[in-house]
Amino acid sequence: MSLKEYNKKRDFTKTKEPPGKEKSKEDNSLIFVVQKHAASRLHFDFRLEWEGSLLSWAVPKGPSFNPKDKRLAVEVEPHPYDYKDFEGTIPKGEYGGGTVMLWDEGTWEIQKGENFSDGLKKGSIKIILYGERLKGKWAMVRMKPKGDEEEKNWLLIKERDEYAQDVVGISDFNTSVRSNKNMDEISKGDDMETYEVQLATLRKKIPQGDNWIYELKYDGYRIMAYINKGEVKLESRNHKDYTEKFPDIVKELKKWDIMAVIDGEMVINKNGKSDFQALQQYIKTKKGTKPIFMAFDLIFHDGKDIRKYPLKDRKKELKILLENFRGNTIHFSNDIQGNAKELLKTVCGQNMEGLICKRADKAYYSGRNTDWIKIKCENHEDLLIIGYTQTESRIRAFSSLLLGLNKNDEIIYSGRVGTGFTGETAKEIMKKMKPLERKTPPVSDVPASRPNEEVTWLTPKLIAKVSFAEWTEDGLLRQASFKGLKENNSKVNESDEGFNLENKNAKKSKIKSKNEFVKLTSPEKEIFIDYTKSDVFNYYEKMNKKILPYIEKRLVSLFRCPGGISDTCFYQKHPTDNLAGIFSKDITESDGEKDSYMYVEDEIGLLQAVQYGTIEFHTWGSTINNLEKPDMIVFDLDPDEGMELSQVRDGVRDLKSILDELELESFLKTSGGKGYHIVVPLIPKASWEEIRDFSKNIAKVMEEKWPDKYTSNMRKEKRKGKIFIDWVRNGRGATNVCPYSIRAREPGTVSWPITWKELDKISPNEITIVKALKSRRKDPWIDFFEIEQSIK
């Protein structure tokens, strides 16, 4: 549809409205928006996406939830697809001058049996809205013109359904669905928000394809530059004010008479590569090589939040902006062209940090996700300094630093670093270490001292940035080099990028054979028709390294069948005296009373539980060290009896599509029964209540979007012919069967992690004990605990 009339009415050098162009998105869903518009007269603009643009009607009184109300809707010129994101103030004197609020948004579809194109011609449209506020069935009817009137007057009518009300209802909603601001706050839109940065996820394999762009990885300080027409503020990724630390950068940015927020990295370039220690020295002394600001993203420009624009468009706009304000201290971070693997080889061959790989077609999302991938040329880790050594032959203040890794509030010795210091750097570090000296080591696994070496222990407060070749089998750094001290308010890594502590702890395990430390009784007892107790024990012994990361230090409920699954089985979540090897923790219940719960720490506890007749392991979605902050969400797709497997698989894809839209990476496993489980790993940040509400809302979205296919109601009578999206198991105290757990049902099925590509190949109850033990494939969930994402 032509946007000529729309473009003709607007001066885009004055208004922040998007210029007219048809949509270029990939998915097939149709969107709608309702914008509250305080022009010469307050009204609502109702817009439906159709054929690449937005069909638009001005509704003077706004929509009504009451089917008795027939609201006048005056057809106006089609608007561009990008107008769906517009919220702000159109300058006075311009067409439509006034404040615009995004009052509602969502998707829509044609009612069953209707043809939208024919309806437009005939003047009768029947649609279903899936918005935040407008939901259900709606009708639009064109009125017959009077005399020479154009056929532009329609009636917008709410049809009777479960969303209809006896009142108008729109006065209950006075804020934006996007920004949560009211009209007055939107009209004062010159104040810029403070933004959370987008973070890259560490991977070893470089992504390839036309949708990826590649940038150099810098070794400096991540900085968000806020520019507001002569006022400048520089913030670190943790919102620490760095404005005074980089006066030359601030001086340059103050010349820019614009409003913008630029994301980038502050670096000092030495010999063609960034030098972190030189940057730290400059911040302290303001001497030496001056830093430059490598700008790589633009997220706000001239009153517009452009985070939803694709990266390629944001970078294009940033490049034009920097060309208009040429200077020596602000540089554009160019994409590097070429074959991905060859690029990485070249970059690493020049002793660079590595590459940042970004999806060119994606929006800017705060937090860590896989739209941005970082590939390091060498391993890097942030480690606690737990001590230092001195020898008679030393030429610096100390010989080496002793380092520790924080794992679940336990510090584990991780090796030493003795290179990468200058004499001046060592003196500065020693000044910081002196007040932290102590007599006892802060680790239990105390390393042996070397000949003619004196060790001084420290209270672990300082954090060292180190590079290294690899982790040894003993969990120690090899060929480590000091890169600098991390700022005091930074959080030390908890083995999220480096050595796998589960493997390190497993090495210390006492288990050498299935009967040496856990005595198995009644090994020939029949548990399943084809499997004995010995077979179940053997399975968990061989799978312990795969299953333990999902069980250890989580409150666990055991599903025990001491006499086999054909005999009495029961759940047990509270410990008893006879369960040796299983630990107890006192938990405050919702009623304020305390009770004891169980958890497992290692293979011994796992196998002792099996010895006591445990078949299934069900765990909380949080660890005992952070009990009130879940680190995963689980959705169980539970189909009604007799449903086709193809419908269940469609349900999995539909749920994944919603999670994908929210930029949440998810993992898939079979239930071992009728359905599949989708699991979303999280940073333990949100509360149980927030997680429960979020998962419930996801299920509600599916129910509202596909009401004939899914239900969020757990009552059996509500599931007829539908799939229950079980969100209830995401509440405090609820448990989920963990990955790799056997299920207590014939023929001995397993809840088995699979890839998304395997969805159409593996049925929910296909993997059995024997098939699992024969599997030699790579773990599809190997990155599960590396994902850093949040619902907040």
**Strands across the sheet containing 667-670:** 710-711, 723-726, 632-639, 676-681, 667-670, 753-754
3-state secondary structure at position 344: helix
Residue 580, pLDDT above cutoff 80: no
Give 481's DSSP letter.
Answer: E
Average pLDDT rounded to a whole number, residues 307-332: 90
User: Is there a contact between 332 and 319 (Cβ–Cβ < 8 Å)?
Assistant: yes
**CA 200 – CA 181 distance, rounded (Å):** 30
Average pLDDT rounded to a whole number, residues 261-284: 86
Which is more confident, 202 or 38? Answer: 38
Domains 198-376 and 382-496 share a fold: no
Which residues neighbour 761 within 8 Å (Cβ) at sequence distance 6 or greater? none
Residue 379, pLDDT above cutoff 70: yes
Ranking 260-274, 336-350, 499-513, 669-683 by mean pLDDT, the lowest is 499-513
At 496 the pLDDT is: 35
pLDDT digits (tens, 9 = 90+) for 150-169: 889 999 999 999 999 999 98
Do the strands 153-158 and 70-80 form a parallel or antiparallel pair, or are they unpaired?
A: antiparallel
User: Is there a contact between 634 and 677 (Cβ–Cβ < 8 Å)?
Assistant: yes
Q: Is-catalytic flag, 217?
A: yes
For residue 734, name the pLDDT band (cuts at 50, 70, 90). very high
At 593 the pLDDT is: 81
**CA 503 – CA 506 distance, rounded (Å):** 5
For residue 455, name the pLDDT band (cuts at 50, 70, 90). very high
Average pLDDT rounded to a whole number, residues 552-562: 94
**CA 58 – CA 10 distance, rounded (Å):** 17
* Catalytic hit among 217, 362, 504, 674: 217
Q: Work out whether the CA dihedral 432, 438, 440, 444 comes out positive or negative.
A: negative
Domain range annotation of the chain: 4-187, 198-376, 382-496, 533-619, 632-786
**Strands across the sheet containing 367-376:** 198-202, 367-376, 354-359, 212-216
Residue type, 644: E
Residue 681, pLDDT above cutoff 90: yes
Average pLDDT rounded to a whole number, residues 60-80: 95
Report percent pLDDT > 70 for the chain.
Answer: 90
- Where do we find the tokens 């024997």? 770
**CA 612 – CA 621 distance, rounded (Å):** 24
- Chain centre to alpha carbon of residue 702: 20
- Reported for 428-435, long-range contacts at CB under 8 A and 24+ positions apart, including other chains, are 428/284, 429/397, 429/398, 429/401, 429/462, 429/485, 430/388, 430/397, 430/398, 432/462, 432/485, 433/385, 433/388, 433/398, 433/458, 433/462
* CATH fourth-level superfamily of 382-496: Nucleic acid-binding proteins (2.40.50.140)
Question: Which CATH number does the domain 198-376 belong to among 3.40.50.720, 3.30.470.30, 3.90.1150.10, 3.50.50.60?
Answer: 3.30.470.30
Ramachandran angles phi, psi of 184, nearest 5°: -65, -40
Tokens representing 699?
Answer: 């299920």
Question: Which CATH number does the domain 632-786 belong to among 3.30.830.10, 3.40.50.720, 3.40.50.2300, 3.30.70.3300?
Answer: 3.30.70.3300
Strands (E), 498-655: 555-560, 570-572, 583-588, 594-599, 614-619, 632-639
Average pLDDT rounded to a whole number, residues 264-268: 95
At 22 the pLDDT is: 57
At 17 the pLDDT is: 67
CA dist 631 to 203, 634, 671, 681, Å? Answer: 20, 10, 20, 6
- Where do we find the tokens 């304000």? 325
At 645 the pLDDT is: 87
